[in-house]
């Protein structure tokens, strides 16, 4: 399948940095990995924006760090990108405004307006599979119409962040189904744009005309000669369809077959799984996304994960890197403490205006060790509540692939295994999204050459597990956590009631 020195490159355009991974398919080794940090424009209204040219400058910088001989041997490139961002282009391909990002919360009013125009959140789920959340691309359109009318008037093409990098590399405009399902406009069941959701976003304009063609996950396009020359690449390089960072991380962690559950313990927590059929929740308990491999990717996102443990560590004057040592000697249940770690509001469960709270304090259990454990347990239980919803659909899992900063904690790895009662595996390659983009590039390039490689087989062959970091559930701890998890759920029910009451009071 592979020519000698068959190198593939994966680019991940994140919120904080751009990462580049170059992978040798023959030796099954990462031969280079570089990163370049990027800035963020933050506003008091919740706006979070970046300039598209910052991504391009960072990609250039990453390639410039590679030896010329290495660049010349790259055969294919895959691009992963932060989801949901809105890149508005004019008819000539120029970016019209700063890019509003996934973490931009300034468009909540526009979310409500779109859902009302569509017939309510439930009707949005019927039409596309998802409600319109503040992070999604859809709400950024009416916000731009109101606040940047000149840019909106010149709008010719709507792209997502990874689409824009693809456009820069190839001169072609397209979208693939995984990242497109995070716009709020794609009917994830049929993989077609929902005209009703587009009309609800702007009834006075044909937004469908602004959306590029949808392409299959294994599609690829040739790099332009000028871009190849600029980056020192071969004119034969092909650029794969790419995808959103979660979709690429699914490939990079080997989550491309039913039965694997990926959990990322980052600032926010994500939990996602591969499905061979659309998995849509009428109550929108998870994001009903497509994968970037031809399947579907039901995804749960919590807003507070390592954010919770790091906040506690900071309050007590130690580093979260020392958290395992600090909580040594504590046991499941944190001495009776229960934390609802909603420091930043919460998406799953849907409590956007909630705040963190600590329960069960007495004269003996209020120690920094117990409070730190309670934060870790609370973040884990919040993910588990989403997991329960996936189980209710009939999905079943036999292993967890764990990534993110929290996966470096021995205690947290064991806690995940015990709370979920599943064996935990940690992939050796830490940059899951960039690595997944590289593997997708290899898959698409093989198909462009006339091959028939299977993405699941490729992932199975190249995603290596760090065996020394694997762990299995401890039956005694599994039973203990099950009891404490139900206590957490009872406090969560009380918080939901309080949240609902406060909304009614505010409305009055």
Whether 3 shows a pLDDT value over 80: the answer reads no
**% pLDDT > 90, the chain:** 86
Look at 497 and 22; give whichever has higher pLDDT: 22
| pLDDT of 430 | 81
| Residue 504 scores a pLDDT above 60 | no
Contacts of 155 (CB under 8 A, 6+ apart): 88, 89, 90, 96, 144, 210
Catalytic choice (6, 12, 179, 245): 245
Q: CA of 113: how far to CAs of 88, 110, 260, 316, 433, in Å?
A: 21, 5, 37, 43, 33
Token pair listed for 2: 């592979």
Confidence of residue 145 (pLDDT cuts 50, 70, 90): very high
Tell me the C-alpha distance between 337 and 271, whole Å. 25
pLDDT for the residue numbered 501: 59
The confidence band for 351, taking pLDDT boundaries of 50, 70 and 90, is confident
What's residue 1's pLDDT? 42
Q: Give the C-alpha separation, 410 to 455, whole Å.
A: 31
276 is catalytic: no
CATH homologous superfamily of 255-426+474-508 equals ATPase, nucleotide binding domain (3.30.420.40)
CB contact burial 160-172 (16+ within 10 A = b; e otherwise): bbbbbbbbbbbee
The pLDDT assigned to 503 comes to 53
Paired tokens of 139: 């709400």
Instruction: Taking residues 455-472, report their average pLDDT.
Output: 95
pLDDT score of 467: 87
Q: Rounded CA gap, 266 and 325, in Å? A: 20
Pick one of 3.40.190.10, 3.40.50.1480, 3.30.420.40, 3.40.50.1370 as the CATH number of 7-247+431-462.
3.30.420.40
How does DSSP classify residue 228? H
- Find out whether 217 and 297 touch, Cβ atoms under 8 Å: no
The DSSP element (H or E) to which 265 belongs, if any, is: strand 260-265
* 495 or 351, which is more confident: 495
State if pTM tops 0.85.
yes
Asked whether the predicted pLDDT for residue 502 surpasses 80, the reply is no
d(C-alpha 314, C-alpha 331), whole Å: 22
Q: Where in the chain is the domain with CATH 3.30.420.40?
A: 7-247+431-462, 255-426+474-508
* Distance, CA of 440 to CA of 389 (rounded, Å): 29
What is the DSSP pairing of strand 214-215 with strand 175-176?
parallel
Distance of alpha carbon 60 from alpha carbon 167, whole angstroms: 15
Structure tokens at 332: 């499941």
| Residues 493, 307: Cα–Cα separation, whole Å | 22
Tens of pLDDT, residue by residue over 96-110, are 999 999 888 899 899
In angstroms, the CA 139 to CA 150 distance is 18
Among 51-65, 153-167, 380-394, the least confident range:
380-394
The per-residue pLDDT for range 158-179, each reduced to its tens digit, is 999 999 999 999 999 999 999 9
Given a cut of 90, whether residue 346 has pLDDT beyond it is no
For the residues 266-289, what does the mean pLDDT come to?
Answer: 91
């Amino acid at each position: 399948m592979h020519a000698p020195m068959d190198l593939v490159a994966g680019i991940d355009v994140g919120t904080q940095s751009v990462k580049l991974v170059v992978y040798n398919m023959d030796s099954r080794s990462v031969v280079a990995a570089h990163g370049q940090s990027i800035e963020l424009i933050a506003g008091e209204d919740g706006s979070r924006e970046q300039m598209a040219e910052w991504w391009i400058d960072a990609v250039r910088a990453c390639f410039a760090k590679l030896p010329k001989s290495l660049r010349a041997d790259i055969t294919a490139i895959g691009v992963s990108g932060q989801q949901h961002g809105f890149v508005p282009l004019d008819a000539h391909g120029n970016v019209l405004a700063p890019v509003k990002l996934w973490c931009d919360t300034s468009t909540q009013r526009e979310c409500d307006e779109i859902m009302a125009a569509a017939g309510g959140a439930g009707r949005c789920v019927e039409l596309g599979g998802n409600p319109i959340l503040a992070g999604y691309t859809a709400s950024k359109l009416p916000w731009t119409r109101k606040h940047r009318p000149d840019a909106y008037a010149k709008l010719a093409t709507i792209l997502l962040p990874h689409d824009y990098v693809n456009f820069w590399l190839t001169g072609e405009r397209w979208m693939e189904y995984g990242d497109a399902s995070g716009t709020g406009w794609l009917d994830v069941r049929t993989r077609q744009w929902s005209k009703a959701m587009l009309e609800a976003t702007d009834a006075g304009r044909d937004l469908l005309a602004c959306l590029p063609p949808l392409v299959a996950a294994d599609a690829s396009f040739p790099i332009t000669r000028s871009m190849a020359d600029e980056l020192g690449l071969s004119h034969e390089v092909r650029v794969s369809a790419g995808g959103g960072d979660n979709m690429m991380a699914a490939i990079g962690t080997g989550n491309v077959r039913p039965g694997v559950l990926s959990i990322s313990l980052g600032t926010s927590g994500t939990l996602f799984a591969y499905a061979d059929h659309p998995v849509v929740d009428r109550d929108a308990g998870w994001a009903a996304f497509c994968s970037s491999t031809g399947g579907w990717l039901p995804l749960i996102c919590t807003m507070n994960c390592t954010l919770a443990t790091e906040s506690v560590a900071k309050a007590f004057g130690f580093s979260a890197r020392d958290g395992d040592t600090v909580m040594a000697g504590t046991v499941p249940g944190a001495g009776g403490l229960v934390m609802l770690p909603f420091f930043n509001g919460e998406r799953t469960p849907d409590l956007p205006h909630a705040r963190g709270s600590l329960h069960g304090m007495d004269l003996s259990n209020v120690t920094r060790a117990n409070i730190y454990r309670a934060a870790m347990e609370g973040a884990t239980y919040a993910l588990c509540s989403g997991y329960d919803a996936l189980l209710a659909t009939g999905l079943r899992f036999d292993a967890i692939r764990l990534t993110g900063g929290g996966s470096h904690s021995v205690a947290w790895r064991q806690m995940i295994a015990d709370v979920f009662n599943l064996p935990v595996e940690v992939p050796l390659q830490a940059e899951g999204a960039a690595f997944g983009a590289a593997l997708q590039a290899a898959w698409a390039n093989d198909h462009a050459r006339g091959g028939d490689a299977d993405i699941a087989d490729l992932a199975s062959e190249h995603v290596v597990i760090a065996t020394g970091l694997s762990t299995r559930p401890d039956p005694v701890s599994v039973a203990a956590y099950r009891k404490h998890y139900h206590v957490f759920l009872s406090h969560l029910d009380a918080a939901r009631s309080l949240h609902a009451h406060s909304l009614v009071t505010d409305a009055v």
